[in-house]
Amino acid sequence: MRRVSMATRDELVAAVAARYAGAGRAERGLILDEFAAITGHHRKHAGRLLRRGLAPQERPRRARQIYDAAVREALTVLWEASDRICGKRLRVVLPGLVEAMERHGHLSLAPAVRTGLLAMSAATIDRALRDRREGGARRRRRRSPPSAAVRRSVPVRTSLDWGEPAPGYVEADLVAHSGPTARGSYVQTLVLTDIATGWTECAPLLVREQVLVREVLGEVRRMLPFPLLGFDTDNDSVFLNETVRDYCANTGVVFTRCRPYRKNDQAHVEQKNGAVVRRAVGYRRLEGLEAAAALAELYRSLRLFVNVFQPSFKLAEKTRDGAAVRKRYHAPQTPCARLLADGRIPEAVKTRVSAMAAALDPVRLLADIRAAQARLVEIADRPSSGRAAPPDVPTLEEFLAGLRTAWRAGEVRPTAKPKARKERYWRTRADPLEEVGPQLREWFRAEPWRTARELLERLQADVSGRYSETLLRTLQRRVKTWRAELAHQLVFGEGGAASAREQSDEATGA
């Protein structure tokens, strides 16, 4: 039976409600049976609709603020310290991130603020950070194909062949930093992603050459916390050659390749190409030894930050129903957490990784990443004639202080080419609360729980006839900045209250 639309249901309610209200008991039963049969509603729900006379309307729900400004202020700092990851990933890493920042003296949370932060759901985190967030394809250069003999000697592995491999089986790919043109020589990044844990390692290649790939692969093997068991690549000739194949055979590494023109066979590493390399490095052209050295410096901090403090999703199940594909994911975890939870990893390795993770400072790592990104931008944008001035690198204290307001500047990664935005510093009209501003602020400091309407009513009672109801929105904005200043003081103490007060005074003109 086809169900009627909501609009038709509303019309039926409007037409039948009056007759239903004036009918007797027996007639009401007949009307109710007919209405329930037409609409498909349960009799009880149908009876409620007819007694009400109209379809249920959306009632404006009163905003219920569970988490105050102090919790949101601390959440903003932690979101910035996590490099602006989404709520589902941030929810997982929050306990460890708070503990690490407090251990290194970057954060001091009141017990109520800490409890509120750790109780927030992922959806609430995304809603709280909504205001903080920011509201082509290049023609590939043709490469010489690998020899048929080498291609036949390397077996093909598809995305369905992985199953549940032990940590150590990785997918590998190259990311080119050629900028808008692929002419000449430029730096490339070798990316390795572990299938089981998502552990990602990046290393720069000065030139595209198979012997250099072999040497860099050897260096990356020493950096991995687990032995390299499998090496899966695409059909690029820089991988499918005797040099790389023989190196894998001599070291006991299983060498496989994906199907030609099937990028989904390497979905794990392809995702990291964008989420890790392009996000951190951007799309500028990098060439020369200096750029490769700066890129290596960036990856020294980035590998620790991504693998220890950046949760990621892992596909648990994928089903297809006709054209519809449904995917189910495991709860987000950091690669380090997946590694420690894997029963196939020896206890000695887990102990070493745990000690390494416990000693890391996420804010210092992020500050080092930003400094390395600024250095890369300076190298990439340097004029061909002459040298540009080195970028200003903030101290760790200055970097930590900027996490509270970094979202106002939009994109903060130097490699993302942020557009300069002219800040508005002038007023379009005189401040209507200029004379009573200090008095209102004293009232708020004495009773910070008072709303803007209560302050306005008190002002109207003291000064009758001078301040009308039209000033309520202006006062609400003023009280909002005062609450932000108070929240900052609760999170960071008295030390940062002065700077927050100056910023709030500039923003409100008080």
Give the pLDDT confidence of 109-166 residue by residue, as tens digits.
889 889 999 999 999 999 888 888 765 344 445 556 677 888 888 999 887 788 889 9
Of 195, 276, 187, 183, nearest to 230 (Cα)?
195
**118 lies in a domain?**
yes
Query: Does 35 share its domain with 109?
Result: no
Query: Does 170 share its domain with 225?
Result: yes
Contact 294, 376 (CB under 8 A): yes
Query: Does 444 share its domain with 484?
Result: yes
**458 lies in a domain?**
yes
pLDDT band at 421 (very low <50, low <70, confident <90, very high): low
Q: How many domains does the chain have?
A: 4
Whether the predicted pLDDT of 407 surpasses 70 = yes
Look up the pTM and report it. 0.63
Query: Does 156 share its domain with 272?
Result: yes
**372 lies in a domain?**
no
Q: pLDDT, tens digit, for every residue of 464-505?
A: 778 888 889 989 988 998 888 888 777 776 655 555 455 555
Query: Does 254 share its domain with 345?
Result: yes
Q: Please indicate whether residue 139 or residue 94 has the higher confidence score (pLDDT).
A: 94
Query: Does 106 share its domain with 252?
Result: no
Query: Does 166 share its domain with 262?
Result: yes
Q: What are phi and psi of 175, to 5 degrees?
A: -115, 120
Domain-terminating residue out of 316, 339, 359:
359
Domain membership of residue 125 as a residue range: 64-135+387-421
pLDDT for the residue numbered 261? 87
For residue 278, give the DSSP letter: I
Q: What are phi and psi of 201, to 5 degrees?
A: -125, 140
**Other CB atoms within 10 Å distance of the CB of residue 368:** 21
Contact 431, 437 (CB under 8 A): yes
Query: Does 284 share its domain with 214?
Result: yes
- The mean pLDDT of the chain is 84
Query: Does 414 share its domain with 286?
Result: no
**373 lies in a domain?**
no
Query: Does 396 share its domain with 335?
Result: no
**379 lies in a domain?**
no
Query: Does 15 share its domain with 110?
Result: no
Domain-terminating residue out of 359, 377, 408:
359
Q: What is the domain-level CATH number for residue 296?
A: 3.30.420.10
pLDDT for the residue numbered 16? 84
Query: Does 336 share its domain with 466?
Result: no
- Tokens matching residue 180: 């808008």
Q: What are phi and psi of 227, to 5 degrees?
A: -70, 145
**152 lies in a domain?**
yes
**378 lies in a domain?**
no
Q: pLDDT, tens digit, for every residue of 222-276?
A: 999 999 999 999 999 899 999 999 999 999 999 999 998 888 888 999 999 999 9
311: helix, coil or strand? coil
